């Protein structure tokens, strides 16, 4: 049985710029994230960060995520190799699922002829707007072998609203 990670539910508001949610801003953020996967130099439309250009050194770590819709639930699966459940934080606030993680790794190897000291630090955060049909109080998360799986059960009314629409030939 995989370890269970507590899902924290918060009631707070995080309005977008100007207080209005913009689908174009979400699209741009996602496109920026895709360009980040190729490195900072691949961001031709990069915007300033608090009035300053983004630093060009370092990679932004972002885990691969799969989202699957099933009959009774949505499943969000994130690959987070090298992390333990204690390094992960799963939160749900105002219909937004946020997955955060942080990795702090130090390696110190000494021999008569050499001394190697390595440190790796990195963090990530991914957020997803959830559909209204998710039962927030029944969301759960499990972690095993570097895979985080968040299950988002659908409400009973979600199934009632699902019906086949007949197509008529013109």
Distance (Å, whole) CA 50 – CA 4: 38
Comparing CA positions, the residue from 126, 153, 156, 128 lying closest to residue 139 is 153
> Which stretch of 6-15, 75-84, 117-126, 130-139 has the lowest confidence by average pLDDT?
6-15
- Does residue 168 fall inside a structural domain? no
Structurally, how many domains does the chain consist of?
1
Instruction: Give the C-alpha distances (Å, rounded to integers) separating 84 from 3, 43, 88, 159.
Output: 10, 32, 7, 35
- Does residue 167 fall inside a structural domain? no
In this prediction the pTM is 0.57
- Does residue 170 fall inside a structural domain? no
How confident is the model over 20-48, as pLDDT tens digits? 566 777 777 777 777 666 655 544 444 44
Q: Is the pLDDT reported for residue 139 higher than 70?
A: yes
Q: Which domain, by its residues, includes 109? A: 3-160
CATH code for position 68: 2.60.40.790
- Does residue 169 fall inside a structural domain? no
């Amino acid at each position: 049985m995989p370890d269970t990670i507590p899902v924290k539910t918060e009631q707070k508001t995080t309005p977008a710029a100007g207080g209005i949610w913009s689908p174009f801003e979400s699209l741009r953020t996602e496109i920026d994230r895709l360009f980040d996967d190729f490195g900072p130099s691949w961001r031709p439309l990069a915007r300033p960060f608090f009035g300053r250009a983004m630093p060009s050194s370092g990679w932004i770590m972002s885990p691969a995520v799969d989202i699957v819709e099933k009959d009774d639930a949505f499943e969000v699966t994130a690959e987070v190799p090298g992390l333990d459940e204690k390094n992960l934080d799963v939160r749900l606030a105002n219909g937004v699922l946020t997955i955060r993680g942080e990795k702090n790794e130090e390696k110190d190897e000494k021999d008569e002829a050499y001394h190697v000291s390595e440190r790796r630090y990195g963090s990530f955060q991914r957020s997803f707007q959830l559909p209204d049909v998710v039962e927030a109080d029944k969301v759960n998360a499990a972690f095993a072998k570097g895979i985080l799986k968040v299950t988002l059960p659908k409400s009973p009314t979600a199934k009632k609203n699902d019906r086949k629409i007949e197509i008529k030939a013109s």
